[in-house]
Chain A
């Protein structure tokens, strides 16, 4: 996996086998899938037969005809080669995946009490079987952990060697066949039969075996087939026109004109573009279950993102201390730090860090202080420390106020009000207030803040320029949510989100004609994932979530949705750009071939030879050589994709039109002229 990731575009391990495949793909059954190239192959076969006939009967201009024939076949071979290269990159990945699919033994639990097991082969397992997997065992097939906790090495699918925890009950209950349990044991209910496991699907996806044409690809193919038909009419009528004018045109020349006019460039590269698109996703460690999903990703109008982990760092951090009147900040910091010394939660640690960085209070040793930690409980909703007769507590404001009311009835109401005011201010700004009390005296409030990820605001601005609306999903109350939404720069938010209102939000957006993408991991995300047009399930998620989504992110990184959208757009742009280029090329090709073709009976038409090509033969040959070589020249672009820039559709279009439209008009004039000079110099015609 990691090897193929670093594989460059032009790796000889891929290129050399691809040459062979290019010939294998000459099989008419394979060619028939691509209408444009099939037509090229058919006419090439026709001219080859005519050439052989002339060879036997001793016709004229055999050398010229032979060269044209060779280049016609090269056109087909180059197209096959492009596809083979694209497939080759997937094949390399499939190979490394296949290695993990070695025959495994499974401990199938039997009996009603599931106490004993017998060894069976992994492939004999059925859906619903329960197996025991212990340290060192390979998990025999996909399934769900129903009991136990284990650390699992999932490098086989993610390429990431750090082990992950898999446990029953939570959102991390899914295990994948072919991964290895490193410690402890789990009982797994098998959820996929042999041959249809996650790894099997991955293999067929990256190999392109299951590749079906996506809706947009079908539409584009229709357009290309239609254009081919139009040029059949344009070229097939020429002999008759020529007869009227008192001349005749050799079939090979007509075929050369026809092949250069039909959109061979995009026709040759279309499937390579599709395969490469999927491949790019795989490189990002995202598996798309269908090409359709990748295309849909480019169309996304609304992106639903979970707040925690996507927009904000997973944990809140203390950012500020707000003492009440009569207490210095230093005193509050001291109390807060003591209360948090033994608190291993990220929030607690962040208070210690704040006290050190802002107030210079060094960490102290609990044992030296004779302090004992009072852990957080659901009842008290506070934690703290008791030391030498002194007690410090920190916790939710209401809980602390209740606690203070119980031990110190002399607390002044002004202080209580002050605490509440500060707490409200903090909540309004999107933070969480944490009150601190020392020996029954209210000290102040710690401001715990959701830290918005660095750079995320820019990402959202970029998405907005792409025309994508972002909606933050959070369980927070609307006030807090609004504050974080404003800070992160999302367009909208859904506060106090439940699976139901998530689903209805998606439906609402879709009713407006929008395409929605979201990511999720929990079982309760499954309905929304299934409803979304692009549902990215986290690999760490549950089986249900993975089944419901149409993509799986092996790194379980929710921000990746943004890259997925870009890849989808890139795929469509590459198709559009090469189609435009291909069509725009026709102008130059006409100017090369038409004067050459009719020169024998209408010498006046040499005025159309604006490129000043040396002779009719060299003009025709140059056009066909250019047509074939441009396919090879564009293979890297079709594999890499046209770069997407979030600059708004208008600017993007002008840019691409300039490069691929205007470029498509100009480049062949230069290219054909250059080839003409070269073949004339080499004396090929």
Chain B
């Protein structure tokens, strides 16, 4: 570990902290339907869209209608994306002449992009036509991100409103998230990325003759635009197979920094939106601080583990940290930082191969995902995810001050607890049960790239990444098989919708409740005590479940490495 390394980490954290307030203020105004800087241009478009679709921004929905609209929209997105892949051979914008994608892979990819996971069992440049990349995948990158933001806003309204019935209008929230937040920022990011050397073209791939005289096809395409939403919308699906490790997808340290900040920006901003909407920004900062503590601890462990390197390699006379699977452009600190950010935030873009990290370095990304992507998390998704833990924390801690639990004046009762437990339960269900089946199924084990605990980690990582809607891969596992395409697809759908529906049910239940004014008897949820407590609950309730699995994967691998043993 070097001072230089820590300074780079600090710069990143500083930029994110600075962005929280302005982004929070802007997003609050957008979702509240208030005037913003962009209103003169966008309001007419927004109105036009409503007129076209027959919605009205004044029409609010009950939580069940909100769920129904969300499911309908996502189902349609899923069907269209599936069809586009199956028929891409007959569709335009296909200069490379890609043929139809198989049914299992199409299912997996459709589920992956609809759920904001962007797990890729395919190589982008060798499987998908420009049309599928732009009109299919990139559109879902926006739509799935906007869905997450809408759900988060709806849940926040549940806390902010008192004695109401409706939690907003899904169509309106979706439109505003896309039009006012995702699109404008993406346009700016795209231009910056193009400036930094990321290609943006509809032209065909270029064939080059190498110095040795061999012919090499260089894949190009509308990379910059997809890169912007891939990061900002915490999608993570790379245009190229190696994602942000590819020089065209991440040319230098500046583009790397921008990408990392883009991953966290909206998710971090949501904590402030929350604070503003419930009328006390400190409530938002408390949640941000919780995320911050867990993040910094994660970064420190991974950076330390990677910088320390592998004693077995040291024994061979090669000093220094672990550089396996890392780009020299980014080195140990930026690869470690990127890995922790991308797994903390449900993004899944990678600039290094997580499977090549040391056991402990790779343990942190795994834990980040197992906690349910609540450390900043996916856009919107991270926020409603952490609120589930907040509900459990408040429920137990609230009892300890001798009152029936309440959060921000809303009583936390049987219904909220039930839904929060359901939401938290679905993750170990998808992650552990699928892993348990895959590790004893011959077809599951056959895809493993390395024997021993590392192979176990590969499978565990795949389902964990899928259910957490992260999308990053550990590498080593051959995912494009019918078994993995289908089960990973199911895990992604479970991890997305089995959390969203309980979250909206909670919103619907909370919005009807009165807001109890705070008194000396209500315990403060904006102080360090609450932050510590929330961290504890996230780690114990969210993390302990995975202790046996982690013990058999990365932990035993690490202990073996220290003992000088290989598999």
A residues near B (Cβ < 8 Å) are: 215-216, 218-220, 222-223, 225-227, 229-231, 233-238, 240-245, 261, 295, 298-299, 301, 464-469, 512-515, 568-570, 572-573, 575-577, 579-580, 583-584, 586-587, 590, 594-595, 597-598, 602, 604-605, 607-608, 644, 648-650, 652-654, 656-657, 660-661
B residues near A (Cβ < 8 Å) are: 162, 392, 395-405, 409, 412-414, 416-418, 421-422, 424-425, 428-429, 432-433, 435-437, 439-440, 445, 453, 456, 514-517, 519-524, 527, 529, 533, 536, 540-541, 544-549, 551-552, 555-556, 559-560, 563, 565
Known contacts A222-B418, A513-B516; A216 and B404 CB within 8 A of each other = yes
In the bound complex, residues from chain B placing their C-beta under 8 Å from that of A225 are 421
Known contacts A219-B413, A576-B398; A649 and B545 CB within 8 A of each other = no
Q: How far is B556's CA from A469's CA once the two chains are assembled, in angstroms?
A: 57
In the bound complex, residues from chain B placing their C-beta under 8 Å from that of A569 are 401-403
**Which B residue's beta carbon lies closest to that of A225?**
B421
Sorted nearest first, the 8 A-B pairs with minimum C-beta distance are: A467-B521, A576-B399, A569-B402, A226-B421, A467-B519, A649-B523, A576-B400, A604-B559
Q: How far is B515's CA from A516's CA once the two chains are assembled, in angstroms?
A: 15
In the bound complex, residues from chain B placing their C-beta under 8 Å from that of A605 are 551, 555-556, 559
Contact B433 A233 (CB under 8 A): yes
Contact A465 B424 (CB under 8 A): no
Q: How far is B544's CA from A583's CA once the two chains are assembled, in angstroms?
A: 10
Q: How far is B416's CA from A611's CA once the two chains are assembled, in angstroms?
A: 38
Q: How far is B565's CA from A604's CA once the two chains are assembled, in angstroms?
A: 10
Known contacts A223-B395, A226-B424, A231-B545; A245 and B456 CB within 8 A of each other = yes
Contact A653 B409 (CB under 8 A): no
In the assembled complex, how far is the CB of residue B515 from the closest CB belonging to chain A, in whole angstroms? 5
In the bound complex, residues from chain A placing their C-beta under 8 Å from that of B547 are 234, 590, 594
From B396, B422, B515, A576 is in contact (CB under 8 Å) with B396
Known contacts A238-B548, A650-B524; A657 and B435 CB within 8 A of each other = no
Contact B401 A222 (CB under 8 A): no
In the bound complex, residues from chain A placing their C-beta under 8 Å from that of B515 are 513
Number of contacts between A and B (CB, 8 Å)?
216
In the assembled complex, how far is the CB of residue B397 from the closest CB belonging to chain A, in whole angstroms? 6
From A240, A604, A608, A657, B529 is in contact (CB under 8 Å) with A657
In the assembled complex, how far is the CB of residue A170 from the closest CB belonging to chain B, in whole angstroms? 37
Q: How far is B167's CA from A318's CA once the two chains are assembled, in angstroms?
A: 62
In the assembled complex, how far is the CB of residue B186 from the closest CB belonging to chain A, in whole angstroms? 38
In the bound complex, residues from chain B placing their C-beta under 8 Å from that of A243 are 439-440
In the bound complex, residues from chain A placing their C-beta under 8 Å from that of B541 are 227, 230, 583
In the assembled complex, how far is the CB of residue B461 from the closest CB belonging to chain A, in whole angstroms? 14
Contact A650 B523 (CB under 8 A): yes
In the bound complex, residues from chain B placing their C-beta under 8 Å from that of A468 are 519, 521
Which of B397, B402, B437 is packed against the most chain A CB atoms within 10 Å?
B402
Contact A299 B404 (CB under 8 A): yes
Contact B520 A466 (CB under 8 A): yes
From B399, B521, B552, A598 is in contact (CB under 8 Å) with B552
In the assembled complex, how far is the CB of residue A669 from the closest CB belonging to chain B, in whole angstroms? 15
In the assembled complex, how far is the CB of residue A355 from the closest CB belonging to chain B, in whole angstroms? 46
Known contacts A583-B540, A584-B540; A572 and B399 CB within 8 A of each other = yes
From A241, A244, A652, B445 is in contact (CB under 8 Å) with A244
Contact A512 B517 (CB under 8 A): yes
Q: How far is B559's CA from A236's CA once the two chains are assembled, in angstroms?
A: 25
Contact A219 B417 (CB under 8 A): yes
In the bound complex, residues from chain B placing their C-beta under 8 Å from that of A219 are 395, 412-414, 416-418
In the bound complex, residues from chain A placing their C-beta under 8 Å from that of B404 are 215-216, 295, 298-299, 572
Known contacts A234-B545, A657-B529; A513 and B409 CB within 8 A of each other = yes
In the bound complex, residues from chain B placing their C-beta under 8 Å from that of A238 are 548
In the bound complex, residues from chain A placing their C-beta under 8 Å from that of B521 are 301, 466-468, 648-649
Q: 4 extra interchain contacts, Cβ-Cβ under 8 A, other than A236-B436, A467-B519? A: A215-B414, A223-B417, A579-B396, A648-B521
Contact B429 A650 (CB under 8 A): no
In the bound complex, residues from chain B placing their C-beta under 8 Å from that of A235 are 548
Complex A-B: 5 CB contacts under 8 Å: A226-B417, A594-B548, A605-B556, A650-B524, A653-B533
